[in-house]
Amino acid sequence: MNNIWSENIQGVKTLYLSRKLRFDDFFYKQYEALFSLKPDKKLKILEIGCGPGALADALHRWYPDAEIAAIDRDSNFIEYAKENVPGVEFVEGDAAALPFEADTFDVTISNTVCEHVEPEIFYSEQKRVLKDNGVCLVLSARKGVVQTADCLKMTEDEKRFWESISDGENILEKYAVGKYYMTEKELPVVMENSGFADVSTGYAVIDLTPDNPKYSSGMAEDMINAERASKLEAVQSTKSKETSRIVDIINEKYDARIELYRKGNKQWDTDTSITMVIRGINRKGN
Ligand X SMILES: C[S@@+](CC[C@H](N)C(=O)[O-])C[C@H]1O[C@@H](n2cnc3c(N)ncnc32)[C@H](O)[C@@H]1O
Residue ranges of alpha helices (H) inside 204-282 are 217-236, 243-263
Binds ligand X by CB under 6 A, chosen from 72, 106, 222, 271 = 72
Sign of the dihedral through C-alpha 137, 44, 46, 103:
negative
Instruction: Name residues contacting ligand X, limited to 2-41 (CB under 6 A).
Output: 5, 15, 19
Please check whether residue 54 is in contact with residue 15, taking contact to mean a CB–CB distance below 8 angstroms: yes
Binds ligand X by CB under 6 A, chosen from 112, 267, 270, 282 = 112
| x/- track of binding to ligand X for residues 76-95 (CB under 6 A) | -x----------------xx
Stretch that binds ligand X, among 111-119, 201-209, 211-219, 263-271 (CB under 6 A): 111-119
Element (H, E) at 205: strand 196-208
Instruction: Name residues contacting ligand X, limited to 177-206 (CB under 6 A).
Output: none
Please check whether residue 15 is in contact with residue 199, taking contact to mean a CB–CB distance below 8 angstroms: no
The sheet with strand 130-147 has its strands ordered as 89-92, 67-72, 44-48, 105-111, 130-147, 270-282, 196-208
**Between 16 and 63, CB nearer to ligand X:** 16
Q: Concatenate the DSSP letters of all residues of 113-148 into one string.
A: -TTTS-HHHHHHHHHHHEEEEEEEEEEEEEEEEEE-
Binds ligand X by CB under 6 A, chosen from 34, 57, 69, 73 = 73
Binds ligand X by CB under 6 A, chosen from 34, 37, 113, 137 = 113
Residue 49 interacts with ligand X (CB under 6 A): yes or no = yes
Positions touching ligand X (CB under 6 A) are: 5, 15, 19, 49-51, 54-55, 72-74, 77, 94-96, 111-113, 116-117
